[in-house]
Amino acid sequence: MNLRRNWIAFQTIVIKEVLRFMRIWVQTVLPPAITTALYFIIFGGLIGSRIGEMDGLRYMDFIVPGLIMMTIITNSYANVVSSFYGSKFQHHIEEMLVAPIPNALIILGFVAGGVCRGLTVGVAVTLVSLLFSPFSMHNLGVTLSVVLLTSVLFSLAGLINGIYAKSFDDISIIPTFVLTPLTYLGGVFYSITMLPEFWQGVSHLNPILYMVNAFRYGLLGVSDINLWLSYAIILGFIAALFSFSLYLLNKGHGIRN
């Protein structure tokens, strides 16, 4: 009975989350597609043609995986942080807290919502990329698993941000001052082999580097990073962030008085 009840509760949270971002698709799905199209036109088309090849690939083709991954990361994060904080702000998180839903299931529900948004926008951006770059798939399994795991990871990170957030300012600080710089410095637009040795070492501290490169490997078969190391890093972060978010919800941090 509990299993069935929990499954229905999980489905309900996911449906609610998906309907939430689909109701406002003009704010959630369309802008990333337009922004990425601009990246392709400016960086890939106008500037990229003067850069030449990177890792043996046309610059436009090189940046496609990174831009798709950047979109998935930012949208997974943004979906969960805004949804969770919104539910705190309007107090409708209480709808779940009064019900017999385990905290782990609340986390999984919000994360699944973030993954759905990340993948929806990821597909939209991939479709836009086809206008500029031919479709390429080196390893479908690696591509899908890396997309899914990265989306889970950043949904969890968004959830923790949402748990701690006390104002709307708090939900934009991390994306602006942490997530965006890490993404841009995570090898989206360049290969880290271009950097001096010291900065290559520093770049290895950036977890996004591992995700972008693993995804690039899945699509194009090239990577600056060992694939299995990337998996280990992503899974390690997921385990740590899930445990931490569960700890916070169990303590009632930010949601219970």
Partner 1 sequence: MPKALSIRNLTKTYRNGFQALKGIDLDVEPGDFFALLGPNGAGKSTTIGIIASLVNKTGGEVSIFGHDLDREKDAAKACLGLVPQEFNFNSFEPVVEIVVNQAGYYGIPRRQAYERAERYLKELGLWEKRHETARTLSGGMKRRLMIARALVHEPQLLILDEPTAGVDIEIRRSMWAFLRKINAEGRTIILTTHYLEEAENLCRNIAIIDHGEIVENTTMKGLLGKLNVETFVLDLARPLAQLPQLPRHTLRWVDELTLEADIRKEDSVNQLFTDLAAADVQVLSLRNKTNRLEQLFMNLVKENRPS
- Binding segment toward partner 1, per CB under 8 A, in 42-50, 91-99, 118-126, 174-182: 91-99
DSSP run (H or E) holding 54: strand 53-54
- Residue choice 22, 30, 92, 243 for contact with partner 1 (CB under 8 A): 92
The nearest distance, CB 93 to partner 1, in angstroms, is 8
Q: Is 223 exposed, middle or buried (0-12, 13-18, 19+ CB in 10 A)?
A: buried
The nearest distance, CB 112 to partner 1, in angstroms, is 14
Is position 12 an interface residue for partner 1 (rule: CB under 8 A)? yes
Instruction: Report the alpha-carbon distance of residue 240 to residue 232 in Å, rounded.
Output: 12
Identity of the residue numbered 9: A
Instruction: Report the alpha-carbon distance of residue 22 to residue 254 in Å, rounded.
Output: 27
Of 12 and 200, the one with the shorter C-beta distance to partner 1 is 12
Site track for partner 1 across 147-186, x = CB under 8 A: ----------------------------------------
Is position 90 an interface residue for partner 1 (rule: CB under 8 A)? yes
In contact, 250 and 103? CB cutoff 8 Å: yes
Is position 9 an interface residue for partner 1 (rule: CB under 8 A)? yes
Identity of the residue numbered 102: P
Residues from 21 through 50 that contact partner 1 (CB under 8 A): 23
The nearest distance, CB 160 to partner 1, in angstroms, is 20
- Binding segment toward partner 1, per CB under 8 A, in 72-80, 89-97, 161-169, 204-212: 89-97
The nearest distance, CB 118 to partner 1, in angstroms, is 21
- Binding segment toward partner 1, per CB under 8 A, in 84-92, 118-126, 159-167, 241-249: 84-92
Of 11 and 136, the one with the shorter C-beta distance to partner 1 is 11
Of 9 and 54, the one with the shorter C-beta distance to partner 1 is 9
Contacts of 56 (CB under 8 A, 6+ apart): 222
Is 59 in a helix, a strand, or coil?
Answer: helix
Around Cβ 164, how many Cβ atoms within 10 Å? 15
Distances 187 to 13, 199, 211, 250 between C-alpha atoms, Å:
34, 12, 10, 37
DSSP run (H or E) holding 135: none
DSSP run (H or E) holding 58: strand 57-58
In contact, 113 and 248? CB cutoff 8 Å: no
Residues from 93 through 132 that contact partner 1 (CB under 8 A): 94-101
Q: Under the rule (CB under 8 A), what is the footprint of partner 1?
A: 1-2, 4-6, 8-9, 11-13, 15-16, 19-20, 23, 86-87, 90-92, 94-101, 252, 256-257
